[in-house]
Amino acid sequence: MRKTLILVLGLFLAGAALTPTYARELSGQEILDDLEFSNILSASGTAELTLITENVKGVQRKYSIRVFRKSGDDGEKQFLEYLAPADVRGTKFLSLTEKGREDQMWLYMPALGRERRIAAHMTEDSFMGTDFTYEEIGGNLAYEDEYSAQRLPDEELEGLSCYVLDLEARSEDVLYAKIQMWVWKDEMVPLQVDFWDPADTLKKTLTLRDFRRVEEELIPHNVVMADNLKGTRTILEITKITEDDVDDEVFTVRYLRR
């Protein structure tokens, strides 16, 4: 199963500095491997976010969310909790990704008073009515294991020089048959990711903007996932982020019930 793309939300990869001459000769796979990060949030720490859902008529609803993350060589952990509005407050989501093992996810609903394990066949379902799936809610952009990358002609995106990658699925056991990615050359971070379904239809578009330095890491503070078929959008805005260490107790099923 693919590496989870859960909240929203942090594993950064070390990328080597590239000279302009060498950069022009990079292959698509090398560019993908050299991305400065593969998740929206940093490796370990906490973040507070505003999540906004927008329906086809443009009507928006705002949610307040807190996220805890921890990442290491053996995998990554993420705990997400809704703080507001009142009807979803206390809803919690736990995801554990460990190398060599199947991803584990649980959703706790206060109305039920218990957690529910997210089965493997449900991970591509919509997360809490958003345009992100359960796998995508963390914004994982590490596709090197599931897609082969080809470099397309470079382009400019909003005045920024970008590499353009065409990613083709290595198997049919993925949600998207093709992905196109625009990578900002100067910083080696994705600015836009297009997702195509098996019918060769542009299904969704992810855009990352408002990059800021946090503890020497470049993190997008505005992330939008648009469902081009439904005409809906989900917007993530980071309002506060720290890279403090998080206690392992947070990433347990027991903590979901607190």
**pLDDT for the residue numbered 141:** 67
**pLDDT for the residue numbered 15:** 32
**pLDDT for the residue numbered 20:** 43
Q: Is the pLDDT of residue 223 over 70?
A: yes
In CATH, the number for domain 20-256 is 2.50.20.10
Between residues 122 and 216, the one the model is more confident about: 122
CB 2 within 8 A of CB 135: yes
Highest mean pLDDT among 2-16, 139-153, 236-250: 236-250
- Give the chain's mean pLDDT: 86
Per-residue pLDDT of 191-214, as tens digits, reads: 999 999 999 999 999 999 999 988
Per-residue pLDDT of 79-126, as tens digits, reads: 999 999 999 999 999 999 887 788 899 999 998 889 999 998 898 899
SS (H, E, C) the chain: CCCCCCCCCCCECCCCCCCHHHHHCCCHHHHHHCCCECCCCCCCEEEEEEEEEECCCCCEEEEEEEEEEEEECCEEEEEEEEEECCCCCCCEEEEEEECCCCCEEEEEECCCCEEEECCHHHCCCECCCCCCECCHHHCCCCCCCCEEEEEEEEEEECCEEEEEEEEEECCCCCCCCEEEEEEECCCCEEEEEEEECCCCCEEEEEEEEEEEEECCEEEEEEEEEEECCCCEEEEEEEEEEECCCCCHHHHCHHHHCC
**pLDDT for the residue numbered 244:** 83
**pLDDT for the residue numbered 102:** 81
Question: What residue spans define the domains of the chain?
Answer: 20-256
Between residues 178 and 242, the one the model is more confident about: 178
**pLDDT for the residue numbered 42:** 57
**Distance of alpha carbon 229 from alpha carbon 251, whole angstroms:** 35
Tell me the average pLDDT across 40-69.
91
